[in-house]
Amino acid sequence: MLKSSDNTNLKFLKAFSELLETKSFEQITVRDLAKKAQLSRRAFYNHFNSKEDFLRESILVIFDDITKILNNDLLYEEVILKEMLSYMYTNKEIIKSFVCFFPNIDNIIKDYIKGMIIHSNIPDLEKQLETAYQIPYSFALDIYISIIESIILNWIDHDFTNEPEEIARYIISVVRI
Give the domain ranges of the chain.
Answer: 1-61, 71-177
Q: Which fold has domain 1-61?
A: Arc Repressor Mutant, subunit A (1.10.10)
Give per-residue pLDDT as tens, 61-105: 899 999 999 999 988 999 999 999 999 999 999 999 888 877 788
Q: Is the pLDDT of residue 149 over 60?
A: yes
Helical residues (DSSP H) of 20-160, grouped into ranges: 30-37, 41-47, 51-70, 78-90, 92-101, 105-118, 125-133, 137-157
Verdict on whether the full-model pTM lies above 0.95: no
Longest distance between any two alpha carbons in the chain, whole Å: 57
Q: Is the pLDDT of residue 4 over 70?
A: no
**Which three-class secondary structure state does DSSP give residue 77?**
coil
Q: How far apart are CA 137 and CA 1, in angstroms?
A: 37
Choice between 176 and 96, residue whose per-residue pLDDT is larger:
96
Confidence of residue 3 (pLDDT cuts 50, 70, 90): low
Q: What is the pLDDT of residue 98?
A: 85
Task: Name the least confident of 17-26, 121-130, 146-155.
Answer: 17-26
Mean pLDDT, residues 1-28: 83
Q: What is the pLDDT of residue 153?
A: 96
